[in-house]
């Protein structure tokens, strides 16, 4: 076991982990941040997407020990502390961009990362940017609409 320390949603968190522990497992089981979902556990579905040092990654395909010292944002960290939703979350609600909601944490994190480096994406850029995230309910159209709407609402922010 190795003692790991990382800044998660702005707070320094410490816990011990064996080398085999995945970041997704560490977040969910050691830090009790269960908003990060594990869907396929084979690096395909993107439900486990979190942001590590500014980059979206699949937390089921990164060792927790490799995130030692990193700054991590999970779905629990995107809304404001007073409960005000992030513009991406608000747009997902307004545009009915979720049905069962299982993929939504990963979709939101992927969208937040996408808009950070491409603030004014085209429809095609949104679809390319969300290629690593699967949704089995919506058919994606409303998700794309939500991300495009969020890009507009974030302009004034």
Partner 1 sequence: MDTFTFKRAASVAEAVAAATAGVDAKFLAGGQTLLPVMKQGLAAPSDLVSLARVAAMQGIGVNGGMISIGAMMRHADVAAHGEIKALLPALSVLAGGIADPHVRNRGTIGGSLANNDPAADYPAAVLGLGATVVTDRRRIAADDFFQGMFTTALEAGELITRVEFPVPERAGYIKFPHPASRYALVGVMASKSAQGVRVAVTGAGACVFRATALEQALAKSFTPGALDGVAVGADDLTSDRAGSASYRAHLITVLAKRAVARALEVRS
CB of 61 to partner 1, least distance (A): 5
CB of 82 to partner 1, least distance (A): 30
Contact 79, 86 (CB under 8 A): yes
Helix (H, G, I), strand (E, B) or coil at 84: coil
> Does 105 engage in binding with partner 1 (CB under 8 A)?
no
Which one of 3, 12, 32, 131 is in contact with partner 1 (CB under 8 A)? 131
Dist CA 143 CA 108 (whole Å):
9
Contact 83, 90 (CB under 8 A): no
Residues in the chain: 157
Residue range at the interface with partner 1 (CB under 8 A); choices 27-35, 81-89, 129-137, 140-148: 129-137
CB of 142 to partner 1, least distance (A): 20
CB of 15 to partner 1, least distance (A): 16
- Of residues 30 through 89, those in contact with partner 1 by CB under 8 A are 41-43, 46, 49, 55-58, 61-63, 65-66
Dist CA 142 CA 93 (whole Å):
10
Dist CA 34 CA 22 (whole Å):
14
Dist CA 6 CA 20 (whole Å):
17
- What is the binding site for partner 1 (CB under 8 A)? 2, 18-20, 22, 41-43, 46, 49, 55-58, 61-63, 65-66, 110, 113-114, 129, 131-133
């Amino acid at each position: 076991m190795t003692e790991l320390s990382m800044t998660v949603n702005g707070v320094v968190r410490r816990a011990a982990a064996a080398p085999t522990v995945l970041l997704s497992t560490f977040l969910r089981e050691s830090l009790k941040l269960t908003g990060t979902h594990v869907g396929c556990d084979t690096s395909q579905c993107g439900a486990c997407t979190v942001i590590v040092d500014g980059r979206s990654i699949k937390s089921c395909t990164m060792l927790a020990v490799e995130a030692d010292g990193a700054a991590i944002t999970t779905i629990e960290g995107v809304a404001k502390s007073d409960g005000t939703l992030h513009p991406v979350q608000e747009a997902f609600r307004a545009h009915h961009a979720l049905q069962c909601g299982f993929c939504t944490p990963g979709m939101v994190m992927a969208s937040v990362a996408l808009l950070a480096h491409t603030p004014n994406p085209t429809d095609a850029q949104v679809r390319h940017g969300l290629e690593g995230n699967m949704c089995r309910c919506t058919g994606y159209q409303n998700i794309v609409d939500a991300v495009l709407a969020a890009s507009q609402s974030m302009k004034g922010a």
